[in-house]
Amino acid sequence: MAKTWHLGLTGWPLRTSLSPRLHQAALAAAGLEGDYGLFPVPPLPEGAADLAELTGRIRREDLDGINVTIPHKLHVIPFLDQLAPAAEAIGAVNTIFVRDGILYGDNTDAPGFLADLRLQMGAGIAGLNSRRSALVLGAGGSARAVAYALARSGWEIWIAARRVEQAQQLADQIAGFLSQDGREFHVIVLESEDLHNASADFSLVVNTTPLGMAPDVSASPWPADLPFPRGAFVYDLVYAPAETALVRRAREAGLRAANGLGMLVEQAAEAFERWTGHAAARERMRQAVRLNSVRAAEGDR
Residue 292's pLDDT is what?
43
pLDDT of residue 44: 94
3-class SS letters over 192-256: CHHHHHHHHHCCEEEECCCCCCCCCCCCCCCCCCCCCCCCCEEEECCCCCCCCHHHHHHHHCCCE
When mean pLDDT is compared over 14-23, 62-71, 151-160, 291-300, the highest value belongs to 62-71
What would the pLDDT profile of 60-119 be if each residue is shown by its tens digit? 999 999 999 989 999 999 999 999 999 998 999 999 999 999 999 999 999 999 999 999
If one counts every other C-beta atom within 10 angstroms of the C-beta of residue 131, the result is 14
Q: Which of 6, 73, 75, 301 is catalytic?
A: 73
Residue 130 has pLDDT above 80, yes or no: no
Q: Quick one: pLDDT at residue 24? A: 97
Residue 141 is predicted with a pLDDT of 84
- Confidence at residue 296, expressed as pLDDT on a 0 to 100 scale: 45
Q: What percent of the chain has pLDDT over 70?
A: 91
pLDDT at residue number 47? 96
Average pLDDT score over residue span 270-293: 90
The better pLDDT of the pair 178, 246 is held by 246
Higher pLDDT, 153 or 276: 276
DSSP string, 131-192: --EEEEE--SHHHHHHHHHHHHTT-EEEEEESSHHHHHHHHHHHHHHSGGGT--EEEEETTS
Please answer whether residues 301 and 17 qualify as being in contact, where contact means their C-beta atoms are separated by less than 8 angstroms: yes
CATH number of the structural domain 4-107+265-293: 3.40.50.10860
pLDDT class of 300 with cuts at 50, 70, 90: very low
Residue 123 has pLDDT above 60, yes or no: no
Tell me the CA end-to-end span of the chain in Å, nearest whole number.
Answer: 32
pLDDT of residue 214: 82
Beta bridge partners of residue 199, listed in sequence order: none
| CA–CA distance, 210 with 119 (Å, rounded to integer) | 23
pLDDT for 162: 87
Sheet containing 4-11: give its strands across. Answer: 33-40, 4-11, 65-68, 95-99, 102-106, 82-83
Q: Tell me the average pLDDT of the chain.
A: 89
pLDDT in tens, 193-206: 788 888 778 999 99
Note the pLDDT of residue 182.
Answer: 64
The H or E element containing residue 9 is strand 4-11
Domain 111-261 has CATH 3.40.1410.10: no
Residue 6 has pLDDT above 90, yes or no: yes
In this prediction, residue 200 carries a pLDDT of: 78
| Whole-number pLDDT of residue 129 | 46
Quote the pLDDT of residue 191. 74
| Residue 261 scores a pLDDT above 60 | yes
pLDDT, mean of residues 142-165: 90
Rounded to whole angstroms, the maximal C-alpha distance in the chain is: 65
The set of residues, in sequence order, having a beta carbon less than 8 Å from that of 216 and lying 6+ positions away, is none
pLDDT of residue 299: 44
Residue range 8-23, pLDDT digits in tens: 999 998 977 899 999 9
The pLDDT, as a whole number, for residue 297 is 41
Catalytic residue flag (residue 73): yes
What is the average pLDDT across 255-279? 97
Give whole-number Cα distances, 257 to 26, 141, 143, 171, 229, in Å: 27, 22, 18, 25, 13
> 4-107+265-293 with 111-261: one CATH topology?
yes
pLDDT reading at 295 higher than 80: no
Domain boundaries, the chain: 4-107+265-293, 111-261
